[in-house]
Structure 1
């Protein structure tokens, strides 16, 4: 079990908390690893990377996943090429820090991008990125994503039907799935386990995430929204899932919110 605390992004970016301090917090909560958003890693200079990697090692807890935001559905070809080069950089950066996974996205739902084109572009570029990740010992995990603060539009593949088409197009590659437990409901589809079952053989990581609203992503503390965690966890146990549960904590309650999320996830997994 690891944690991506979106609640603490601002504190880390504003230098109110360091990445090693965040890693220490996760370790003290008994987690097996911690996750980072790519925007939290300041640069790729040798001195900074060596120092950060050494500081993380001293905390004695591994970096599991780095979340990135490639926009391969952008209507302009040159920008899609830029997005690919940005992702190559992010993969190399995650590798330099010893991460195991890099979370990738299809891209934004740009108004001028047609569905068929967007699906084709996402598959094309993610396929192209797979051997790069393989070279660096990184596993790419494609997510049924919603909308980060870094984007103007919601994810192009937020609708489950589009997500499944892209996932199918990547089936014969090394790209796995990071399945988000909240985003199927946020997309307005009622059956999360049905979509999870359709891609389970490629699922390597789970974003244990919550939403308060059907048809819209409204992050709240784990266990206080509408996500059927017991059903999802029971399904995962029935399939002998042995990958990572990556808590996407977004309660905006600071350290207390992370503690509550960890406690809820552990208890619910045990009871499922």
Structure 2
């Protein structure tokens, strides 16, 4: 049966930028949630001190939870080889971080969709870089998970493999027991595509999932696609919302995942309106998991 984890979506600025929240505070808040794990983020300010890594693991485990997944954003599609080599080194550092925290899964991405890149060039650069990291991950018992991603908060261009066809082409280049997909249904809407169509194409490769829901604050997906190309930051038209009340069909998603034998971690990217909202999302997902897996 899948296991639930939580991600501090509402507190990213406080934990990663201005330091107004300490990780211990987030761990204490999350300890009240009915989840088994906390998804970690490589960019938490306090993670800069390596000596604290075992301490954070202990704090989480003392609260009866684990840290199964690491969220990080390598940029493997830069045309300069020395830049890509630095990104590979960063990814290996994040793999070490995941290992120190007791985690099993560490995210990879393709990189930015730079205008000068052709499709085949970008896929090759990303695939080569990911494959360069796999032996390092395998030695540490870590599985690299590629997410169908929209855009890192600090990137200028959207994800190179944002579009379904590109993502599937990239995933199909890499076959290894220490590599799989982290499926995020909400991100597919940002490509103007159908998350269920994508899931149908990659469900046999899914090992982890991000659970979230999104709704448009204004305009349409088409408006979003036009204005976000080449703008630093995240989409302004789109908002995270309570799971079960947005655009995603969780019955169809879980039915497909169950049919493929999925039993991995599902990390909740939600709670932007507070812990009460996050608790409601946990309840919704637990109910749906029971419906499809507790048979």
Structure 1 length normalisation: TM-score? 0.91
Structure 1: which 5+ runs fail to align? Answer: none
2:171 matches 1:167:
yes
After superposition, the Cα gap between the structure-2 partners of 1:41 and 1:59, relative to the gap in structure 1 and judged at 3 Å, is farther
Report SS of the residue matched to 2:284: helix
Question: What's 1:23 paired with?
Answer: 27
In 2: Cα distance, 1:166 partner to 1:236 partner:
21
Report SS of the residue matched to 2:113: coil
Match for residue 10 of structure 1 among 2, 9, 13: 13
CA RMSD of aligned residues (A): 1.9
1:232-247 matches, within 5 Å, as: 232-247=253-268
CA drift at 1:260: 2.3
CA drift at 1:146: 0.6
Greater alpha carbon shift after TM alignment, 19-28 vs 79-88? 19-28
Match for residue 244 of structure 2 among 223, 227, 230: 223
Question: What's 1:264 paired with?
Answer: 284
After superposition, the Cα gap between the structure-2 partners of 1:100 and 1:24, relative to the gap in structure 1 and judged at 3 Å, is farther
In 2: Cα distance, 1:177 partner to 1:194 partner:
15
2:77 matches 1:56:
no
Question: What's 2:230 paired with?
Answer: none
After superposition, the Cα gap between the structure-2 partners of 1:50 and 1:235, relative to the gap in structure 1 and judged at 3 Å, is closer
Deviations 1:153-197 (A, max 9, x none): 11110000000000000124521110111122221112x223213
CA drift at 1:270: 3.6
Deviations 1:81-108 (A, max 9, x none): 1111111111111111111111110111
Deviations 1:97-143 (A, max 9, x none): 11111111011111222211110001001011111111111111011
Deviations 1:40-75 (A, max 9, x none): 153454532233233233222100111010000112
Are the aligned partners of 1:185 and 1:227 in contact in 2 as well (CA < 8 Å)? no
Are the aligned partners of 2:23 and 2:46 in contact in 1 as well (CA < 8 Å)? no
CA drift at 1:263: 2.0
Question: What's 2:101 paired with?
Answer: 97
Question: What's 2:229 paired with?
Answer: none
In 2: Cα distance, 1:68 partner to 1:46 partner:
16
**Higher RCO, Cα 8 Å, sep 6+:** 2
Report SS of the residue matched to 1:219: strand
Match for residue 186 of structure 1 among 178, 183, 190: 190
Report SS of the residue matched to 1:39: coil
CA drift at 1:5: 2.4
Are the aligned partners of 1:100 and 1:137 in contact in 2 as well (CA < 8 Å)? yes
Report SS of the residue matched to 2:240: coil
Report SS of the residue matched to 2:269: strand
2:70 matches 1:66:
yes
In 2: Cα distance, 1:151 partner to 1:6 partner:
18
Report SS of the residue matched to 2:31: helix
In 2: Cα distance, 1:30 partner to 1:73 partner:
39
2:86 matches 1:82:
yes
1:143-158 matches, within 5 Å, as: 143-158=147-162
Question: What's 1:133 paired with?
Answer: 137
Structure 2 length normalisation: TM-score? 0.85
Greater alpha carbon shift after TM alignment, 235-244 vs 212-221? 212-221
Are the aligned partners of 1:94 and 1:102 in contact in 2 as well (CA < 8 Å)? yes
In 2: Cα distance, 1:78 partner to 1:153 partner:
20
In 2: Cα distance, 1:23 partner to 1:252 partner:
16
